[in-house]
Structure 1
Amino acid sequence: MTAVTRNDYVVRAIRPADWERVKQLRLDALRDPVAHLAFLETYENAASKPDAFWQDRAVGSGAGSTAAHQFVAEAPDGTWGGSVTVLIEEPGTRDWAGNPVERRQGHAVGVYVRPEHRGNGLIEELFAAGLAWAWQRDAERVRLFVHEDNARAQSVYRRIGFAPSGLVLPFAKDETANELEFVLARPSWTADG
């Protein structure tokens, strides 16, 4: 799936050969000032992973994968402005927190837009690609978790159409804080393709 945004970015699924760029974008995301609220992983943990981890990640969430897709927005100069990954969760399984999954759904993770690429609609374009991919896989909804103190992210997710479901979980890195589940139901117009 390829889409050209109104800003001349190309939004596409990563490819196995992109593994070094996948690694660099993730490390950059983990250096963001709000990374402690936005990601469960630390920079130190991610930086210590061997190249084989990143190569496997690029294969497992790249073009051709049916379980996950990482979408990137490539600027006209070739730099990656941001990324969103959508995982498909199957009913009868358990999610990352050990809770039962009751429906086929997408789970958006690893959402990041570089500061110099923010404020131009890029996040909406990344989500449009991720959501379209989830709907094509018959997901009933797409969900994500956002830290209760990450107001900027919550605002963006609401603008895209996500809303709090009411599910609140302890934040894995600090159980005195919470993560809120936001969901977006599959639009009825996607039922016919």
Structure 2
Amino acid sequence: MSEITVRPLGVEEWEQYRSMRLTALGESPEAFVATREAEESEGEDFWRARMERSTRLLAERDGQALGIASVGTYEEGEGIAQLFGLWVRPEARGSGVAARLVRAGALVAAEQGRSQLYYWVGTDNGRAVAFASSFGFRPTGNRRPMRVRSEDDGEEEVAMTLSLAGDRGGIPTL
């Protein structure tokens, strides 16, 4: 089996990102705030602008797209980036794709001069908390209502943070 590679997508690759994003929204609607119906009607300008706002990462094996993730700024803290929109095709789950995307996201954030990487996970999602913890992410006191269903249903997510300086929690140095 070939190696999983992760690469940043350029603005000109907006159609590839759009395709993966819409697939993710259709396959895992509960994992995202947006809906497939809302985003599939958006035009090229919307997608190009989205590509310019954050770094979009694509995981592939033998030219087949397996997963996506994004790295962007976190407005509430200087020097902090956030990893978001992480999604892996169901048939590729458990094969290391998500781990590769997280590592690549940490490297992108470090290259951008960020000192921390945030990753928001549901407080009741033990599997996601354990996954993030395996990279060295630690829970912070920052919590917010889950925006997937309703802000009124009481579900929360917690920001987990990974230090990008000093002990890198298993993230390779640049």
Which bin holds the TM-score, normalised by the shorter protein? Answer: 0.7 to 0.9
Which one of 58, 63, 67 corresponds to residue 72 of structure 1? Answer: 58
Shift of 1:31: 1.9
Counterpart residue number, 1:174: 150
Answer yes or no: is 1:12 the counterpart of 2:3. no
Which one of 160, 163, 184 corresponds to residue 138 of structure 2? Answer: 163
Amino acid at match of 2:84: V
From the superposition, tell whether residues 102 and 19 of structure 1 become closer, same or farther in structure 2 (CA, over 3 Å): closer
Between the aligned partners of 2:12 and 2:98, the Cα distance in structure 1 is 24
Which one of 36, 51, 71 corresponds to residue 86 of structure 1? Answer: 71
- TM-score, with length taken from structure 2: 0.84
Q: Secondary structure at the match of 1:120?
A: coil
Give ranges in structure 1 of 5+ residues lacking alignment.
1-5, 62-67, 90-94, 96-100
Shift of 1:7: 4.8
Shift of 1:141: 0.6
From the superposition, tell whether residues 160 and 55 of structure 1 become closer, same or farther in structure 2 (CA, over 3 Å): same
Which one of 23, 26, 51 corresponds to residue 18 of structure 2? Answer: 23
- What value does the CA root-mean-square deviation take over the aligned residues? 2.2
- Contact 1:7/1:120, CA 8 A, preserved across alignment: no
Counterpart residue number, 1:47: 40
- Contact 2:138/2:162, CA 8 A, preserved across alignment: yes
Query: After the TM superposition, which segments of 4 or more aligned residues of structure 1 sit over 3 Å from their partners?
Result: 149-152
Shift of 1:154: 2.4
Between the aligned partners of 2:42 and 2:124, the Cα distance in structure 1 is 29
Amino acid at match of 1:46: E
Between the aligned partners of 1:43 and 1:146, the Cα distance in structure 2 is 21
Answer yes or no: is 1:129 the counterpart of 2:104. yes
From the superposition, tell whether residues 140 and 84 of structure 1 become closer, same or farther in structure 2 (CA, over 3 Å): same
From the superposition, tell whether residues 52 and 27 of structure 1 become closer, same or farther in structure 2 (CA, over 3 Å): same
- Contact 1:86/1:134, CA 8 A, preserved across alignment: yes
- TM-score, with length taken from structure 1: 0.77
From the superposition, tell whether residues 147 and 189 of structure 1 become closer, same or farther in structure 2 (CA, over 3 Å): closer
Q: Secondary structure at the match of 2:26?
A: coil
Counterpart residue number, 2:91: 116
Counterpart residue number, 1:98: none
Counterpart residue number, 1:65: none
